[in-house]
Structure 1
Amino acid sequence: MTSSPSGSASTSFSATIGKDFLASIVVFLVALPLCMGIAIASGLPPTAGIITGIIGGIVVGFLAGSPLQVSGPAAGLTVVVLQLVQEHGVEMLGVIVLFAGLLQLAAGLFKLGQWFRAVSPAVIHGMLVGIGVLILVSQFHVMLDMKPIGTGIENLIGIPGALMTALTSGGPHFAAGLIGFLTIAVIFGWGSYAPKSLRVIPAPLVGVLVGMTTAVALGLDIAYVSVPDNIWSETIFPTPERMMRVLEPAIMVGVVSIAFIASAETLLCATAVDQMHSGPRTKYDKELSAQGVGNTLCGALGVLPMTGVIVRSGANVEAGALTRNSAILHGVWLLVFASLIPFTLRYVPVSTLAAVLVFTGYKLAYPKIVPALMKFGKGEVIIFVVTVVTIVLTDLLKGVVLGLVLSLAKLLYAFSHLVIRKEENPEENRVDLHLSGTATLIRLPMLARALEELKPDAKVHVHIEDLDYIDHACIDLLSSWDRQHKISGGSLDIQWEGLTEKYKNRTAEAFRTARNNPLITGRFPQKT
């Protein structure tokens, strides 16, 4: 964790611009290959990713509620965007992204940013892992200069066949595969064995440079990136006729999907970035509104949607950025590079960019979160696994929705699960009731039934130290039953031990108040 002021008002521009300038160069070098690779993987020209990176840096960087977070095209949206392009055409993508941006902007203005953080971590991480798997298995085919076969499971099953074709053909597929695997090897090697003084140069950039140099030097006949001299020439502006189609159910589903996933990924990333530095914390509603402005502009230009991205944001913090100026400057460098020397991109093999995404997909798909989820119970792991499997077998939206449904079901179960264990001692006429789980209004009939079954003169001891929560309705029930049970010659003693001091005192006081208040109506009929 750094101790930087991260945009503190007391920090002058002259005191921070040096570190921000250097950090912006690092972020730019990380962002350039990712912007192009994600665009190609999404079915769009590489310039669509670069323009999104420019807007994410200059516009969103200026408005952001998370000063050190960097926004741009995200691997997490690749699968959704590709599906939308295939189903509705590249012309409709801008309309979908534009309205998704407006939805995000409205959510931010109505202070809904915190609600996006309420999504279960198991679902969020399951979504990211599922996306990682889909990216890896689809881009593996692109790395061999082939096209993805179809769904995630089809791409996964088709990998051995694609490898066999590349190995036996000995042509462009084999050459592209060699360049792709060389790129991945360089990325792994640079991250693990490069001298610390040189690791400031991003591993993906080194991999792309090595792959590009090797392909050009050997004169390989493989696919290369195609870019126009004017990066703005491929923008697609929404027309009134296309914008009217937003009311179609399929288009609206796309709008909501982009808005939800982009918002969740952005705010999850912002939370992670907050843990990397000690400066100002994220203003979630402001960040959500900034993302909405950025995506509205991206939609107006017909380019890729954006999110806050952890790879670029992490590189920004690690490079010593102090304020939002580093994110803004990285957008400026993308604009200068793509406007003045776009011809250099034509030497980049498509297989090297696909290899960068294969590596990115691997990092997303690696289930490193499972041990952490296990600490919160097997239920969280089950939700995580079901989300991942459903995404791979069907699609992203179905996986996320199923994960959310399971999370809600788990929550309802937690608030309705009550176990009552009875121990009887006939010699002492004593009954011990051990309660565990959650005693709420939902399970009040169960608790009432257990009390009604006890002998009228029994000495009852209720143990609530294993309860996660007991609500006022159940306290009222116990107090009412206590008053009636005393009339029959019995007694009730509640064991408060085990509860935290504050909760014990508050709950015990509520019980005493209910027991001594004659205005409280009992839940049992008066005994005569």
Structure 2
Amino acid sequence: MLRHDLPASLVVFLVAVPLSLGIAAASGAPLMAGLIAGVVGGVVAGAMGGSVVQVSGPAAGLALVVADLVSRYGWPATCMITLLAGGLQMMLGVLRVARTALAVSPAVVHGMLAGVGVVIALSQAHVVLGGSPHASALENIVGLPGQVAREHGEAVLAGLLTLAVLIAWPRLPQRVRSVPAPLAALLSAAAAAALLGWEVTRIDLPASLSQWSAPVWPQGDWHGIAGAVVLVALLAGVESLLCSVATDKLHDGERTDLDRELTAQGAANIVTGALGGLPVAGVIVRSTTNVRAGARSRWSTVLHGVWILLFAVGLGWTVAFVPMEALAALLVFIGFQMVNVGHVRNLHGHREVPVYVATLAGVVLLGLAEGVLLGLGLAALLALRRLTGVTVRARPEPCGRRWHVLIDGSLTFLGVPRLTAELRAVPAGTEVDLELNIDFMDNAAFEAVHAWRQEHERGGGTVHIDELHDEWYTMAASGARLFPAKTPPRIPDRWWLPWSHRRRRGRAAGVPAPVRHPAQTAPDDLMAGATEFHRRTAPLIRPVLHGMARVQQPSHLFITCADSRVVPNLITASGPGDLFTVRNIGNLVPRRGMTPADDSVTAAIEYATGVLGVRTVTVCGHSGCGAMAALLGGKGTGELPGLDRWLRHGGPSLARFVADGVSGTGHAEGGTGEGHGDGGGDGLGGGGPLDRLCRLNVIQQLDNLRTHPRVDRLVRAGELELVGLYFDIGTARVHMLDRTAAPDAAPTATI
């Protein structure tokens, strides 16, 4: 294990030393306090922690808090606050409440860290430019143009060189980048300043060590002191726990015990506070470096702390060669890196960017605590809005004499204005189907719905209420006592999943599938499926089937392929009684009088148009059709004579495909996508020969339908419509084809 952890610990050590010194400088603490925190974070938190690869130490996210505490109470009192915060963290860890910290919105945490980064960068930019930082971020922003315009000395070159190395380092060859960028930047600035004789501000680490003193009790209002202890404990604890969760995603080893990790962080803060170090927290930069360097156990973290201790004792004098301006430039770079664009991108998908921006702006303009509280408040408001959100849609049915109203979500008093506005759009005297798909309804919402229903029915209309989720309205109308809790959502039926997927979903993680003989699979699946139908679906659909038990009245004749991946009712969202379905290999419609004769499809066409009175005949093809692949191959199966005879009915499609290619009328390279024979792309324009033939085959079958006299007569009379559909299996999209256009042209509609 050490053959992996030893080199990883050296890499983390080289990253940790400059960062520890820089964070100490940004915090207004003695520089040695940063190294002490690095040692304690590595040895104590690393040995006791619940994460095997997380690296703890001084964190940039706490720099503003520490700087404020130092200016308010002094450095020795700040150490006591750190010690007390560690005790609070240990108590919370023992009480096993660590997972509660994960309830804090990541948008608030990332916004806080980004705000801290901006504040650090703004303040240290003044140091890089030869000035002094102001008391607030706003003053630093206002004063920065004037600072830039001033005359600068040679010290500025050290800072600019540091920034240049940090920016360029990721673009250098891998062999060069084996040296950590912060270390390379500081070494470059120190070497340049020494060789060129630049007048720079030097770091005096021995003087920093002489500033050490024992922790003392803070003087001042105890409310402020208690608040400072809680703030340090919570910020350091939340940052450490979130870092642990993020680090777990980077390796395949043992997962983090969050309560143990929080207890270890508390112990480390007690020790670092007693020794005069900065507060300790899990740090994502060092933890990520540790994982990428190949660390396998907590020995890497512990050893990196040992290396920092040996450096501080034996090589601390080397720090005097590092210009303070270079250290400030490193902090400017770290500050801007804390504004992570990747986090903003992830939050955008969940509509939490306003929380991130509000927290960042609050930290920069108001202060750390104020910004965090602002972010938490906005996150709570947005969560409340989502939890009580409701969708109300009132639309007329195609006939115009009936309206459909859908109310979806949590129906509370907050949604009453929108609810009443939509319901007012329903004309008086109409028949209304009101669907309530709600998980909660309070009294104000019930009264609004009930009053509208009574008024509508008094005006001559009717209201049919169908509660899809739970009977909130029915219970309220009957005077039954309602429980305040929301109804838990029902687990959706996965009837559309293949049997194999449902078996896999139903098994517990790590439980192997039962071994079954292949001959037993199909009967078992069919019986299990029938049992599931009886248990879940039959009670819901029984009233519908009972009403159509004696007669069927489908509106569509649907001709499609026998391919098992094409499920007509699934891709058209239709139910029992909607489709009169014919399935065969290749979704073929034999032309009238073609040999060999086949009356099965003809019989279905005659029965659907002559007896059932369907108004639409649809031919649906699909991507990667095996029948069309056989036609393109041009060879019979030999061993399947029946299939060979049947595929002769695809001859007109193949002839049309060949003629289209010879004449150049097709648009094989145009269209709207890149369909492929394996079902990829959108299956329309630009596909390979197989998918072009699949689409053209649908158009040809529509023409074949017109060879049947009854169909042709009904189409001419406007009593029957022929429709071509194409199902792209890879993208699960259904497209409507235009039979008058070239086969590779764009569809008339994407359904």
TM-score when scaled to structure 1? 0.81
Instruction: Show structure 1 runs of 5+ residues with no match.
Output: 1-15, 497-506, 524-528
- 1:256 Cα shift? 2.1
Establish whether residue 102 from structure 1 lines up as the match of residue 87 from structure 2. Answer: yes
Q: Distance in 1 between matches of 2:215 and 2:147?
A: 38
86-95 vs 446-455, which deviates more? 446-455
Q: Distance in 2 between matches of 1:258 and 1:151?
A: 20
Q: Distance in 1 between matches of 2:205 and 2:274?
A: 21
Establish whether residue 410 from structure 1 lines up as the match of residue 354 from structure 2. Answer: no
Q: Which amino acid aligns with 2:43?
A: I
Q: Distance in 1 between matches of 2:199 and 2:108?
A: 43
Establish whether residue 432 from structure 1 lines up as the match of residue 432 from structure 2. Answer: no
Q: Distance in 2 between matches of 1:391 and 1:159?
A: 19
Of residues 236, 241, 252, the one that matches 2:213 is: 236
- 1:389 Cα shift? 1.4
Of residues 284, 299, 306, the one that matches 1:332 is: 306
Establish whether residue 470 from structure 1 lines up as the match of residue 439 from structure 2. Answer: yes
Structure 1 vs Structure 2 CA RMSD: 3.5
Counterparts of residues 68-87 of structure 1 (less than 5 Å): 68-87=53-72
- 1:189 Cα shift? 1.6
Of residues 194, 204, 222, the one that matches 2:182 is: 204
Instruction: Show structure 2 runs of 5+ residues with no match.
Output: 484-751
- 1:163 Cα shift? 2.2
Of residues 307, 317, 321, the one that matches 2:295 is: 321
Counterparts of residues 253-332 of structure 1 (less than 5 Å): 253-332=227-306
Does the residue aligned with 2:103 lie in a helix, a strand or coil? Answer: coil
Q: Distance in 1 between matches of 2:482 and 2:237?
A: 49
* C-alpha contact 1:131 1:365 (8 A) present in aligned 2: no
Counterparts of residues 120-269 of structure 1 (less than 5 Å): 120-165=105-150, 168-169=151-152, 174-193=153-172, 195-228=173-206, 231=209, 233-239=210-216, 242=217, 245=219, 248-269=222-243
* C-alpha contact 2:163 2:185 (8 A) present in aligned 1: yes
- 1:235 Cα shift? 3.0
Distance 1:449 1:391, change over 3 A: closer
Q: Distance in 1 between matches of 2:482 and 2:147?
A: 73
Does the residue aligned with 1:433 lie in a helix, a strand or coil? Answer: strand
Of residues 303, 327, 331, the one that matches 1:353 is: 327
Residues 331-383 of structure 1: CA deviation (Å, up to 9, x unaligned): 00001111122111111111111111111011112544222222112xx2222
State the partner residue of 1:92.
77
Q: Distance in 2 between matches of 1:186 and 1:238?
A: 39
Does the residue aligned with 1:462 lie in a helix, a strand or coil? Answer: strand
* C-alpha contact 2:26 2:63 (8 A) present in aligned 1: yes
Moved over 6 A (4+): 424-429, 444-458, 512-515
State the partner residue of 1:384.
356
* C-alpha contact 2:8 2:290 (8 A) present in aligned 1: yes
Q: Which amino acid aligns with 1:198?
A: V
* C-alpha contact 1:35 1:50 (8 A) present in aligned 2: yes
Larger Rg: 2
Distance 1:423 1:325, change over 3 A: same
Establish whether residue 55 from structure 1 lines up as the match of residue 40 from structure 2. Answer: yes
- 1:446 Cα shift? 8.8
- 1:260 Cα shift? 2.0
Distance 1:140 1:451, change over 3 A: closer
Residues 287-322 of structure 1: CA deviation (Å, up to 9, x unaligned): 111111111112222321111111111110010000
Q: Which amino acid aligns with 1:128?
A: L
Distance 1:330 1:458, change over 3 A: same
State the partner residue of 2:661.
none
Q: Which amino acid aligns with 2:378?
A: L
State the partner residue of 1:501.
none
State the partner residue of 2:369.
397
- 1:437 Cα shift? 4.3
TM-score when scaled to structure 2? 0.58
- 1:434 Cα shift? 2.0
* C-alpha contact 2:394 2:423 (8 A) present in aligned 1: no
- 1:414 Cα shift? 2.1
Does the residue aligned with 2:179 lie in a helix, a strand or coil? Answer: coil
Q: Say how many residue pairs are matched.
A: 476
25-34 vs 339-348, which deviates more? 339-348
Greater relative CO (CA pairs within 8 A, separation 6+): 1
More helix by share: 1
Q: Distance in 2 between matches of 1:145 and 1:45?
A: 21
State the partner residue of 1:117.
102
Q: Distance in 2 between matches of 1:179 and 1:39?
A: 20
- 1:422 Cα shift? 3.7
Q: Distance in 1 between matches of 2:482 and 2:15?
A: 68
Residues 92-114 of structure 1: CA deviation (Å, up to 9, x unaligned): 11121112112222222222211
Identity of aligned residues (%): 38
Establish whether residue 344 from structure 1 lines up as the match of residue 318 from structure 2. Answer: yes
